[in-house]
Amino acid sequence: MLLWDYEMREVRPLIDALSPRQCFALSVRAIRHVLAFDRGVLGEVNPATADFVRRSLELADEAVAAGRSTIGEPDGYLEEIGELLEDDTTDSAGPLIMALLNLYGEVDTEPVHALETLSSTYEVVLARQRIEVVTPETERQHTALVQVIAEQKELVRSASAT
């Protein structure tokens, strides 16, 4: 298990109590947070992935503003995600794309999806640390990982207060 799994247990009940709209908004904030937290992520992934991230976040912002709990299923999004996962082999691309995948679909964003998004965004930061052997003990030695967990807990607390 990752350090994230242990540390996020304390806020799991807060996530479980969120409505689909709150889960969706939390997921969008978590993705935006990781991109602000580590500004090098979009420069590391290939341009097609960076473009997909930007377009997905625009669609997500529109969905949040409209009070929806999912982006929906735009034409070709699954094929595009599949191609990106196949073509972009940078360390942070996979977790970032998986975080975005949780925003799509016809099913409302549920607590499990928000949790998966938070986990994936943590994995983006973890991948950028280039830790040879990942254990909770080695993760604790990386300030960025400890910090992103603390900030994610605050995102969850903020989401549960709205």
| pLDDT at residue 72, rounded to an integer | 93
pTM of this structure: 0.95
Per-residue pLDDT of the chain (162 residues), as tens digits, is 899 999 999 999 999 999 999 999 999 999 999 999 999 999 999 999 999 999 999 999 999 999 999 999 999 999 999 999 999 999 999 999 999 999 999 888 999 999 999 999 999 999 999 999 999 999 999 999 999 999 999 999 999 998
Q: How many helices (H) and strands (E) does the chain have?
A: 10, 0
Reported as type and span, the H/E element at residue 134 is none
| pLDDT at residue 107, rounded to an integer | 86
DSSP SS3 for 72: strand
DSSP SS3 for 126: helix
| Relative orientation angle of helices 47-65 and 20-37, to the nearest 10 degrees | 140
| pLDDT at residue 14, rounded to an integer | 98
- Number of C-alpha atoms within 13 angstroms, CB side, residue 70? 15
| pLDDT at residue 38, rounded to an integer | 92
Q: In the chain, where are the structural domains located?
A: 3-161
| pLDDT at residue 40, rounded to an integer | 92
| pLDDT at residue 103, rounded to an integer | 95
| pLDDT at residue 155, rounded to an integer | 98
